[in-house]
Structure 1
Amino acid sequence: MKAIVYERSGGSEVLSLVDRPVPEPGPGEVRVRVVVSGVNPTDWKSRSGAHGQSGAQVPNQDGAGVVDAAGPGVDPARVGERVWIWESAWQRADGTAQEYVVLPERQAVALPEHASFDLGASLGIPAMTAHRALTLAEDAPARLAPGALAGRTVLVAGGAGAVGNAAIQLARWAGATVLTTVSSPEKAKLAQAAGAHHVVDYRAQDAAAVIRELAPDGVDIVVEVAVTANVDLDLAVLADNGTVAFYADGSGAEVTLPVRPSMFRNLRWLGVLVYTIPDAAKVAAVAAIQDAVAAGSLRGGAEAGLPWHRFPLAQTAEAHDAVQGGAVGKVLIDI
């Protein structure tokens, strides 16, 4: 089978297209014929050495395909099942940038017939990150469902990104009032397509003033992509007992939090990295995502505010570079 492999850290030039034996599933595992692989920022960061991985590695955490073999202890009826894959390459040597991947069966989740493989490969890390961020607020549910966030106001920073898109859709499905910030009219259209109730262009508007006008009592949850850059904005718009769930460090490696306002207003500042969240939170996220996809409430593609950018397997390096370069939408690799 064809696979993309790197054996040392570095730029995308370390990625090579090679032939490998087709793997066999062990106990509790399935083999998936991968149709589409999804690329996330952690994929190129892991390859570059930012996460300290070493040894021969097939990149990419997310993907979608069809179960074509089941190991001992796995229901044989799963063979032929359409699935989406999550966390394939976390502390494992086998990501989804290959024709077949073997992984624990729980990491291959049933994908409804109406959901495309493109959507399946776009779920995984972005949607699980969004779910975790939306369930960290005071008295928040452990698992999202219709009505679970009713009466709450959510601010999604960067609503045109992959996590932002998933957060808008999941929050809307769960009954929240959803506001989002973007940096251009083009991105505003994407956030609107995702289902945000209100979109604020922070480069063209006084974001704090507009958000406070839209949410006079403040925002309950901020799903934050740039906590260093947005700390003042978050402070200005948070409700008392509000929560900022931040999941990226692209705006800087350090942030200074004001102690007294955070203490007096009982504000919560919580980091999110899907790979290291409690296992129960992963299980809850996968179940909620599965429900939202089945309901047609978690979608992908330009019509849902998440344009797809496609590359063939042999151009995985270019796909990684596109994500590193800030491609707006979801980068996919056709296997």
Structure 2
Amino acid sequence: MEQIQRSNWKFNMILLGMVLLLIVSIIYSITLGSADISMKDVYQILFAKITGNNALLEGFEKGWIDIVWLIRLPRILLAVFAGIALSLSGAVMQAIVNNPLADPYILGISSGASLGATLAILLGVGISFGPNYVGISAFIGALSVSFLVLLFGSSSSRADVSRLLLVGIALSSLCSAISSIIVFAANNRNGMMTLNFWLLGSLSAANWQIVKILAPIVIVISIFFCFQSRILNLMLVGDEAAVTLGQENHIYRIVYIILAAILIGFIVYACGIIGFVGLVVPHIARLLVGVNHKRMIPITILFGGLFLLWADILSRMIIKGVEIPIGVIVSIVGAPFFLYLVIQNSGERRQ
């Protein structure tokens, strides 16, 4: 009993610490930027915009107001929501295949979303879907690849982890190759720049329209998965053990993959491909609070937003006056971490 209380206290402290750290990081990051605007002026502009008290904006240059309200704040919120979506989808994919090495990037879902967006931008595919057709096309691409991974990566109606990973890597390479062919065939310099945007990832396109589309999707799906801990935990014990406990995971697996594809599709639409977030963050969350998804999912959500927010801050601060693509910063952290996981898993198998 005492051990359970101590464990609950530790989780509550970590959760509270994450919330406070995320709030402080958001407040601090708003003051950062190439424009020389004082901290006091930044907060006064934000307060005036949030409260609608335009009298407080008298004396401010319109350029300052636009920088704070139309550039910095949407970018910060996009970083947080993108981090949440990528981390959450990674945690879900790892539960689905019962392997800590799985994430949407490795399983090819991100590349499928990128291909869908490339088809939409350069060839006009899906334009009949309306003004958000790029996001919808990215979602369809992500969903299509996710089902192909399950189709070709399963044997005897069961998900084979090794095959899932190999099929995911193969499909990821195929989607990237097709995207490149489309860009070169279009002979469009802007298309080449757009491809680089998808491959390297960037938050530079952040605006309030994107945030308003993304925020409700990420919030609703995050709340949903916070109440799916029991099913996610059962997926870790395997389908056969779950059946003996009266739980069939097949339908849930399909639903979860669809929701993960929705998240990844819209994140790729807004930010391009940002790999390794879905791999690194859930693993760190497990180290902090254990494998129980009831605790791991909330920590993953908070730490994911925090992780990508600080990655964006570093991308703008490492080289003064130059913005490094955020995907590069994340890969610098994620690639060594992935190698560490591979080596660790290999060591455990030998034992």
Q: Name the TM-score, length of structure 1 as normaliser.
A: 0.29
Return the index of the structure with the highest Cα Rg: 2
Q: Name the TM-score, length of structure 2 as normaliser.
A: 0.28
Larger helix proportion of the pair: 2
Larger strand proportion of the pair: 1
Q: Larger relative CO (CA 8 A, sep 6+): 1 or 2?
A: 2
